[in-house]
Each structure stands twice: as structure tokens, then as C-alpha cells.
Chain A
Amino acid sequence: NAGVTQTPKFQVLKTGQSMTLQCAQDMNHEYMSWYRQDPGMGLRLIHYSVGAGITDQGEVPNGYNVSRSTTEDFPLRLLSAAPSQTSVYFCASSLGSGNAYEQYFGPGTRLTVT
């Protein structure tokens, strides 16, 4: 199993540009989440999904869109990039049933918006 994969690893955008951060998992996990990591602020939840076709907002959703058309993929879209979105983005998945709460994280995407 590859686990959780994210692409790209690094990205530089200009203010106003749009892009999609890709996330895929091959563990047949129902739950998937996007977090951003900023110095001194830990991991903050952007959006999450409890299954294909079902998404919801997390703590910091503004400026981001998600969709979940398949169990495996959960892309994160930046609609119009702003310098405040400079961050490291992590995708995570978990089984989401029974007592299986462990989240598996991808390697992250480091995004810089100039």
C-alpha cells in the first residue's frame, strides 16, 4: 500500500491564481481530511469528508473548495490564492468506523503564495 499520497510536494503561486492539491489513499478509508500547518498554530482542519459525495467545512474553510467523487481521492482547490494561504497542507485519512480513529497523514504540500 502506498498509504496517503499528495501532489505536488512544493508549489509557488502568484496572488489570484488557482490550483488543486491532490490527495489519494489506497486503504479504503471512508474519512478524509485536509489540514493546514502554520508555525505556532498546530494543525487546523480545512475541510473533511465522511464518504464519497459527502463533505463539510472545518475550522478554516474560507478560500478553499473540496469534492469527493470517489473513496480514494479528495482534492483541495484554492480558488484565488492569497499570501495568507502560504502554508504546509496535509491530507489525512482514517477508517472511520468502530474504534478505528487513527489518522494516516500524507507527506504534505508546501505552498508559497507571492
Chain B
Amino acid sequence: GENVEQHPSTLSVQEGDSAVIKCTYSDSASNYFPWYKQELGKGPQLIIDIRSNVGEKKDQRIAVTLNKTAKHFSLHITETQPEDSAVYFCAALNSGGYQKVTFGIGTKLQVIP
């Protein structure tokens, strides 16, 4: 089955700096890569996603890149703000069949004011 590794497990940045979270996946059949943000005491919420036919996608201060050859994908947050502090999960999905999602272990991001 799919295996998703996520690094780092914790990340502290100063407000205004950039944050980068990296993930690798093992199943070359995976073709959809979402990123979820989980705030304290809440369920995860989708913030951005990328499909395997795209190399990069941006949404305001958030961007995701995908390298299919290396099976790497990354989340980039620029101009970080205190409200970006949360746990971020990467995931990989094979859109055939049930669309089973495999999650990384999560990265706890702390933005220091």
C-alpha cells in the first residue's frame, strides 16, 4: 500500500518568514495530493491540493509543488502569520476505486510573533 513520509514533525518560524513542509510518497499510482490544516480542537480542513498532471499550484500565501519523478511534494507558506500556527498534514490518494487517502504524520507549525 501507499506510504507517506512527512518532515519535519515540528517547525518554528518567526512571523513573516517562510515555512516549508516536505512529503514523499511510495505508490506511483497516487495522483492527488491534498494538504490539510488542523487547528487546535478541530478536525482537519483542506487548504490546497494538487493533481499529478500539475507541477505547482498557488493560492495567495500558500503554494504546493509536486515532483512526480522523485515522488516528492511540498507545502510552502510565505509571510507567515500567527494564525498559520496549526498542524499540517500531507496526503496521497489513488483516485481509482474507493479513493483511499493515506496521511503523513503531521507537522506542528508554530509562528512566533
Q: Which residues of A contact B (CB under 8 A)?
A: 4, 31, 33, 35, 40-45, 48, 50, 56, 58, 90, 92, 94, 96, 99, 101-103, 105-108
Contact = CB atoms under 8 A, between A and B. Distances in A.
B89 interface: yes
A106 B45 CA distance: 10
B58 to A, nearest CB: 18
B25 interface: no
A94 B6 CA distance: 24
A92 B106 CA distance: 17
A40 B10 CA distance: 11
Q: Which are the 8 A-B pairs with shortest beta-carbon distances?
A: A105-B43, A42-B105, A43-B103, A42-B103, A102-B46, A105-B44, A101-B32, A107-B43
